[in-house]
Amino acid sequence: MKIAILSRNPDLYSTRRLLEEANAAGHEAEVIDYLKCYMNITTQKPSIYIRERELNDIDAIIPRIGASKTFFGTAVVRQFEMMGTYSVNGSDAISRSRDKLRSLQLLSRKNVGLPVTTFAHDTKATGSLIKLCGGAPVVIKLLEGTQGVGVVLTETQKAAESVIEAFRGLDANILVQDFVKEANGADIRCLVVGDKVVAAMKRQGGEGEFRSNLHRGGAATLVKITPAERATAVMAAKIMGLGLAGVDLLRSNSGPVVMEVNSSPGLEGIEVATGKNVAGSIIKWMESKAANGNKIQRGKSY
């Protein structure tokens, strides 16, 4: 197969590994900078180009769209879909997963465990939001934040009110969540490929840090997940319509709760922590889905 990895940087670990595994499996793989692509949205003949080359010979794409480039990146993925090219993650599913609020709403509808999560526009509702979360401590999250930036733990009612009012004063959209204390500053990242968790790691935040993000100094180790955690992760990816997903769970007293479903999960942390060939699993799964010109459109929400 001819495979294109849509990525802005060929030197990134995840991009390199996918390229390596695709070539090792006998495919003709290349990295394409999606921001350099341009498209012709014409009746009957949608097409896409890069540097005057028409990309009409690609059988499958693996999108690695940066959070800040979602709009153009998903337009490129959609254009490939219009041309019948197979995509590991569909454009709709990527857009859906980029909206934290919409993702949680979709997951809640299907009974997936979630931390109590509240949302309001009017600051007059602040007291009620905190109450709905069971009172302080609560976690306040900027909807647009990534990698733990804009995620604040407030220990008291007063602190929670001040932070909510400050964020809302700046017109930022925020979620207010019950603080899952028993997670002890750790979360579980499940790497879902198709309907399987192919690798899972536990990320533990540094001393005195409730956020476990590796970018914030968290440490990752191999973890054995429970059947409930496995089922929750697979279900969450399925609900989002993602073939490849990084599902983040917290271990709460009432079972696994989903915090986020990521459509471009990094491979370095999880391959190093688990010793598993995650990139290879992605390529294998893609082969089974896209082989023989079978151009399946993925991305429907379950």
Q: Which residues bind ligand ADP (CB under 6 A)?
A: 115, 139, 141, 145-148, 151, 177-180, 183, 187, 210-213, 248, 250, 259-260
Compute the least distance from the CB of residue 139 to ligand ADP, in Å. 4
For residue 8, the 8-state DSSP code is S
Single out the residue of 113, 146, 112, 152 nearest to residue 262, CA to CA. Answer: 146
3 vs 220, beta carbon nearer ligand ADP: 220
Compute the least distance from the CB of residue 23 to ligand ADP, in Å. 32
229 vs 260, beta carbon nearer ligand ADP: 260
Q: How many angstroms separate the CA atoms of 194 and 43, rounded?
A: 33
158 vs 181, beta carbon nearer ligand ADP: 181
What is the helix, strand, coil percentage profile of the chain, to 5?
Answer: 40, 25, 35
Q: How many angstroms separate the CA atoms of 160 and 162, rounded?
A: 5
Residue with tokens 């900027």: 142
Q: How many angstroms separate the CA atoms of 223 and 226, rounded?
A: 10
Compute the least distance from the CB of residue 116 to ligand ADP, in Å. 8
Compute the least distance from the CB of residue 283 to ligand ADP, in Å. 27
61 vs 93, beta carbon nearer ligand ADP: 93
Compute the least distance from the CB of residue 262 to ligand ADP, in Å. 8
Single out the residue of 286, 290, 300, 266 nearest to residue 22, CA to CA. Answer: 286
Single out the residue of 104, 85, 284, 82 nearest to residue 194, CA to CA. Answer: 284
151 vs 239, beta carbon nearer ligand ADP: 151
